[in-house]
Structure 1
Amino acid sequence: MTSPPVLGDREIGFARLAAHGLVRPADAAPEDVVRALGAVQAQDLPGALVSVGLRRGAGAAAVREAFAEGRIVRTWPMRGTLHLVPAEELRAWLAVLGPRTVSATAARRRELGVDERLDAARETALAALRHGPQPRERLHAAWEEAGLLGAPGRAYHLMLALHLDATLCMGPLAADARDQLVVPVADWVPGAGEEPGQAPAAPGVPPVVVHWVRRYLRSHGPATVADAARWAALPRATVRAAVAVLDDVVAVHDAGGQELWCAPEVLGAAVRADRRAAGVHLLPPFDEFVLGYGDRSHVLAGRHAVRIVPGANGVFKPTVVAGGRVVGTWGRSRRASSPGLVLEPFEELSATRRRAAERAFARLPVL
């Protein structure tokens, strides 16, 4: 039996860039990019839109239309964290993963009296949405008028609860693309919803979970079972059972002997390390290349981890990737006329990499 190949950290970084579609963006619709990734981190909405744009050959073109036409929505499918998901799979995500978030937030829901107010909040929200999509603040105001608020945090948890039970989701982009309007799922995503095709049978594992594990490993790998379990907020045993029936992912080992899984076709990118893979990539805040893993040590030196999340406050900065590694953060200058690139490298960047970063900055998708 052939032993799994061993990849160094640099090779793992190259393979992940290829898996994410960041080396050669596909000629794909925005919803296909989201579907391939399984879901897209979307705490920072503008950053999530850039993440999608970077992974498609046409950049951010048509991303706004995908939201306006109900092909992509934003909700809290897992870990109590906002993600973009394909609209037709919204209910399938929530049916499997939503109860886990409900359970994780149960104590806070009881403290805020969310469950006893939920029916009234649902009725009030749907009444406010009869005339079309509305900003979240409009629903908050309607709840205030109905006497349903009064405690800090209650508006957020009512909104979260109504997303988790598939009453509401976030649909079309606001004019400035920095937020979304809330819509009723029943109107915006008609039908019963879909599970994503046929999946191999894994004892005790819902078919939709097998699909999501496959998507995660093929779009994020090389990654560990622990990474996949954390990403989807599922037990490791469930993920391990799903991996066991997949025939389109392969095992590799890192330099420490740890087992990781990935699509077989990305192994070529790992060893070839062509100029695109080894080049400079500017990624937005909360990009899946960074946040999609519990263990980021393969692409980010531990001593620099605090630099991408200053103060460990959960707010991730935009990152610079070069040679398959996260080598710094970046931002925009405050010049109103033409904002420029501001680099904050962890160590000195060569002039060649600085020029490559400027070119990457010029190519960033713009909505």
Structure 2
Amino acid sequence: MTTRSPATATATATVTWTGANARRLVRQHLHPDAAVGATPATSPGAAVAAMLGAHAQVLSAAELSVGLRGDGLTRTDVRTALWTDRTLVKTFGPRGTVHLLPAADLPLWTGALSAVPAGTNPFSKDARMTPDQVEAVVAAVAAALTGAELTIDELSDEVVARTGPWAGDLVMPGFQAMWPRWRQVLHLAGHRGALVYAPNRGRKATYTNPGCAPLPGPGAQAALIERYLYTYGPATPAHFARWLAAPKPWAAEQFAALAAAGAIEEVTFADRGPAWVVAGDTDFPDSPVRGVRLLPYFDAFAIASQPRERLFPGAAYERALAGGQAGNFPVLLVDGTVAGVWHLRRSGRRIAVTVEPLEPLPTAGLRALEEQVERVAAIMEGTAELTVGPVAVGPHA
């Protein structure tokens, strides 16, 4: 690649897909070659920070995402960081979905996420809430959870008692049931720093107030964009908007302001045209990625890396995506790109892993795959059993 110099200030660096993909893997602690600066994460918090949040709708998948980026990390380490040391928090992150985030970064995340403009309201007119009702519910959630750990039903009773019967109207479609009106802003309470998950009470999730003071929105959003570009750049405003579930015009305005301030700079990305990186951050590996990796459901690298058709080339685009949506299948990476899918089934300590490569793996690739399966089993604190063949399980919802 080329880099910008004072004599060619109007020129832009050119970044190849190979270089961008390799650097993303290095910075995610997923690159297999230490010669390019790849090192394992030293703690669950470091791993989660490196990927900008671990999707945790399926907590076991988040544990794998974290463990695969560390050296010797297990699911117990992740759970200890989450519920004992409290260096991680489980809350609503990008796209309004449940994530693990570093506790130290919660003020930045809540400051940024709470200031993102709301998109189109997906609920029917009869189910919607007025702006005043939204504020009342968020305040009620914050007050009810201060110094308490409540299940969703207990929290619902508190919210209705503190706001009014309208908050409890069963108008919001949920999983095989109708949920009370106030539930549509549960994720917003998380984004405002009023709510995070607490340890389960039996099989029931509980919530608490972390006492988080969000950072001011403009500065937090600028910092989040720079972290995103450091981790997943080069990227466009549209890529960032898709990752965050934010309006595209708003994202374009944020990028333009940062470019005008000299915080980010434009590069030419492969054959895709202009994209952005953090100013001065134009060093990329020259050599292609080699090796085999397994990534679980909703792994951050698979979801955020763009352009998606480069990460999911050819047949992988049809087999490993669900209607173009990444994360619904665990994926096999071969030489840095998706080359198959896999599935894990646990029975006691037995970790049965079925891997479906889209092309036959050579002997060296099979040995590397066996090592990866052993690593998955070690993270999950079980005994590995590998089958190479078709995966019959469909995509995760």
**TM-score, normalising length: structure 2:** 0.71
Tell me the residue number matched to 2:189: 162
Mapped partners of 1:123, 1:27: distance in 2:
37
Partner amino acid, structure 1, of 2:310: H
Worse-matched range after superposition: 120-129 or 281-290 = 120-129
**Which of the residues 326, 332, 343 maps onto 1:331?**
343
Structure 1 residues 179 and 301, CA gap change in structure 2 (3 angstroms): farther
Tell me the residue number matched to 2:61: 47
**Which of the residues 184, 204, 209 maps onto 2:221?**
209
Contact 1:252 1:261 in 2 (8 A): no
Q: 1:327 Cα deviation (Å)?
A: 0.5
**Which of the residues 23, 26, 38 maps onto 1:18?**
26
Mapped partners of 2:136, 2:78: distance in 1:
34
Mapped partners of 1:314, 1:14: distance in 2:
19
Residue identity (%):
24
Q: Which structure 2 residues correspond to residues 108-257 of structure 1 after superposition, within 5 A?
A: 108=123, 111-115=126-130, 125=141, 129=145, 132-140=148-156, 148-153=168-173, 154-155=179-180, 156-170=183-197, 172-174=198-200, 181-186=206-211, 189=212, 192-194=213-215, 206-232=218-244, 233=246, 234-243=250-259, 245=261, 251=267, 253-255=269-271, 257=273
Partner amino acid, structure 1, of 2:308: R
Mapped partners of 1:251, 1:228: distance in 2:
16
Question: What SS is found at the alignment partner of 2:310?
Answer: coil
Partner amino acid, structure 2, of 1:354: L
Q: 1:118 Cα deviation (Å)?
A: 5.2
Q: 1:347 Cα deviation (Å)?
A: 2.6
Can you give the 5+ residue segments of structure 2 that lack an aligned partner in the other structure? 1-7, 32-37, 174-178, 382-397
Worse-matched range after superposition: 72-81 or 206-215 = 72-81
More RCO (CA 8 Å, sep 6+): 1
Please list the CA deviations of residues 140-180 of structure 1 after superposition, one character each: whole Å capped at 9, or x if unmatched. Answer: 4666898514223344414234324332122x44389x985
Contact 1:319 1:330 in 2 (8 A): yes
Mapped partners of 1:250, 1:55: distance in 2:
29
Partner amino acid, structure 1, of 2:28: H
Structure 1 residues 112 and 225, CA gap change in structure 2 (3 angstroms): closer
Contact 1:37 1:215 in 2 (8 A): no
Mapped partners of 2:318, 2:151: distance in 1:
34
Structure 1 residues 10 and 279, CA gap change in structure 2 (3 angstroms): same
Q: 1:325 Cα deviation (Å)?
A: 0.7
Structure 1 residues 41 and 336, CA gap change in structure 2 (3 angstroms): closer
Mapped partners of 1:80, 1:109: distance in 2:
19
Mapped partners of 1:33, 1:337: distance in 2:
25
Q: Do residues 267 (structure 1) and 284 (structure 2) align?
A: yes
**Which of the residues 80, 83, 97 maps onto 1:65?**
80
Q: Do residues 298 (structure 1) and 294 (structure 2) align?
A: no
Please list the CA deviations of residues 40-72 of structure 1 after superposition, one character each: whole Å capped at 9, or x if unmatched. Answer: 333333222322222233424532233224332
Please list the CA deviations of residues 246-277 of structure 1 after superposition, one character each: whole Å capped at 9, or x if unmatched. Answer: 66978353145554537858613xx234xxx4
Contact 1:218 1:249 in 2 (8 A): no
> Alignment length, in residue pairs?
345
Structure 1 residues 14 and 91, CA gap change in structure 2 (3 angstroms): closer
Q: 1:79 Cα deviation (Å)?
A: 3.0
Mapped partners of 2:127, 2:97: distance in 1:
20
Question: What SS is found at the alignment partner of 1:181?
Answer: strand
Q: 1:138 Cα deviation (Å)?
A: 4.2
Higher strand share: 2
Q: Do residues 4 (structure 1) and 13 (structure 2) align?
A: yes
Tell me the residue number matched to 1:201: none
Structure 1 residues 332 and 299, CA gap change in structure 2 (3 angstroms): same
Can you give the 5+ residue segments of structure 1 that lack an aligned partner in the other structure? 196-204
Mapped partners of 1:333, 1:45: distance in 2:
15
Mapped partners of 2:141, 2:220: distance in 1:
30
Contact 1:25 1:54 in 2 (8 A): no
Structure 1 residues 144 and 361, CA gap change in structure 2 (3 angstroms): farther
Mapped partners of 2:137, 2:258: distance in 1:
38
Q: 1:27 Cα deviation (Å)?
A: 4.3
Mapped partners of 1:57, 1:265: distance in 2:
28
Contact 1:76 1:83 in 2 (8 A): yes
Q: Which structure 2 residues correspond to residues 274-289 of structure 1 after superposition, within 5 A?
A: 277-289=289-301
Structure 1 residues 161 and 49, CA gap change in structure 2 (3 angstroms): same
Please list the CA deviations of residues 211-261 of structure 1 after superposition, one character each: whole Å capped at 9, or x if unmatched. Answer: 212211222234344323432335123124325656697835314555453
Please list the CA deviations of residues 178-230 of structure 1 after superposition, one character each: whole Å capped at 9, or x if unmatched. Answer: 985311132xx4xx3457xxxxxxxxx93322321221122223434432343
Contact 2:194 2:209 in 1 (8 A): yes
Q: 1:324 Cα deviation (Å)?
A: 1.1
Contact 1:214 1:246 in 2 (8 A): no
Structure 1 residues 96 and 209, CA gap change in structure 2 (3 angstroms): closer
Mapped partners of 2:135, 2:225: distance in 1:
34
RMSD: 3.7
